[in-house]
Chains A and B, each alone.
Chain A
Amino acid sequence: MTILTLAILVGIGSFAAGLLGSLTGLGGGIIVVPMLMYVFRVDFRYAVGASLVSIIATSSGAAAAYVREGYTNVRVGILLEVGTTAGALVGGALTGIIDPSVLKILFGLLLVFTIYRSLQPRAEHEILSTPDRWATRFRLDSTYPTPGGRQHYSVRNVPGGFVLMFFAGILSALLGIGSGIIKVLAMDQLMRLPFKVSTTTSNFMIGVTAAAGAGVLLHLGYIDPTLAFPVMLGVLAGALLGARLLTRANVKWLRQLFTLILVVSAARMLYDGIRSVL
């Protein structure tokens, strides 16, 4: 394939991934890597490099809007970014050491977990108002906009959330993903932030986590400009359009389509990884 043909096709595919990722709220990174590998026959490492760079673009683009709406908890974000960036540097250091087939298995397992989480009903837990020692120490409690005005919420289990963020950072650099699913899990389930605050703060952090990992991958030679540009521009354009269409689109069948792609990708990744390990 010539560079021109590849750029056009990868650009279209990445646009679709960005669009689907932003409409379903599950992010594009997790399907960009399998797409590059299994549709365009790209080596795992190049796919990870291109994907991680594109994640910075979409995260920063979306975070800009959310931050201004007042959902994002900047203090929680900054504090937990210590964990994710440290994790991303560790992940970047591990990436040259761990065999790619092991990473494919890890990717497959994360896809399975993503499918499991996306099929679960999204129940909003009760908003806590009792102060926690760590949350008070770091002044993490805040307010967020609700139809009835800004509501106060308390944060808990900061150390647990911090540890989970460290692992989210490692996975981000190793697999070229935003690890949004783990970040939201940590903040929503463990630290008990309101769901909308968890997702927007996660998005806010993804850019920083990905930037830490991408810096390391750049030095390792994983980021190829010819492959990365159609991925980055495609995913960014798709995500921007997705954000505009969000209120009008029929998300239900899009989620089903996304889940189907995740299932196929998971099966392929696990099969590939296990076969080459055996």
Chain B
Amino acid sequence: MNQPESRWSDHAVEQIIGRLLQLGVLLAAAVVLFGAVLLLVNHGGTIASYREFQGEPAELRTIAGIVRGAAALHAAAIVQLGLVLLIATPIARVGFTLVAFILQRDRTYVWITTVVLVLLLFGLVFGRGAA
């Protein structure tokens, strides 16, 4: 913590984290917006009801399915990809914090941050594995 001579001082790390978060949200919002426009142009007139819960189809529930759908330019999958990027933003932030703690040789916080990162990736990649 008290190492102002280091390039990886807490302050420098905080500056980069701030930028990273902004960039991630902007990128995610842009992808969501692109998919949304496509969705409205193609299906804007369709009747939608969310009164009954049916759950999303399998291809919009897994990362692999979403990436495949987005690559095929399916509007809903592109929106979903943007939302996955949004979920990934705080995860990337934790990943960067981990790198910073490694460079600071802060062993305690390397371990703590690793635990957070593993929990987050577990939730995003496996999801129902927790059930």
Contact = CB atoms under 8 A, between A and B. Distances in A.
B47 interface: yes
B48 A1 contact: yes
Contact of A215 (B10, B43, B127): B127
Interface string B40-77: 10011111111111111100111000000000000011
B50 A227 contact: yes
Given A43-B53, A225-B79, A93 B131 contact: yes
Contacts of A70: 11, 14
Contacts of A3: 39-40, 43-48
A41 B131 contact: no
Interface string A81-125: 110011011101100110000000000000000000000000000
B19 to A, nearest CB: 7
Contact of B89 (A90, A211, A229): A211
Chain B interface residue bracket vs A: 35 or more
B8 interface: no
Given A4-B40, A78-B113, A215 B46 contact: no
Most buried by A among B18, B84, B97: B18
Contacts of B39: 3, 225-226, 229
A212 B83 contact: no
B18 A211 contact: no
Interface stretch (A20-28, A53-61, A186-194, A246-254): A53-61
Contact of A60 (B35, B49, B56, B90): B90
Given A42-B50, A215-B124, A227-B50, A221 B13 contact: no
Interface string A7-20: 10000000000000
Given A56-B86, A82-B115, A218-B84, A2 B46 contact: yes
B48 A56 contact: no
A138 interface: yes
A67 interface: yes
B116 interface: yes
A243 to B, nearest CB: 12
Contacts of A2: 44-48
A43 B32 contact: no
A229 B127 contact: no
A68 B127 contact: no
Most buried by A among B122, B125, B127, B130: B130
A65 B94 CA distance: 17
Given A3-B46, A70-B14, A220 B89 contact: no
Given A42-B51, A78-B116, A229 B35 contact: yes
Given A97-B131, A208-B116, A228-B79, 9 more contacts: A1-B48, A42-B51, A44-B53, A139-B1, A211-B87, A216-B123, A220-B61, A221-B60, A222-B56
28 contacts: A2-B47, A3-B39, A7-B36, A42-B50, A43-B51, A43-B52, A53-B83, A60-B93, A64-B21, A67-B15, A85-B120, A89-B119, A89-B130, A92-B127, A138-B108, A207-B90, A211-B89, A211-B124, A213-B123, A216-B123, A218-B127, A219-B128, A222-B56, A225-B80, A226-B76, A228-B79, A232-B32, A233-B32
Interface of B: 1, 10-11, 13-15, 17-19, 21-22, 24-25, 28-29, 32-33, 35-36, 39-40, 43-57, 60-62, 76-77, 79-80, 82-84, 86-91, 93-94, 97, 108-109, 112-113, 115-116, 119-120, 122-128, 130-131
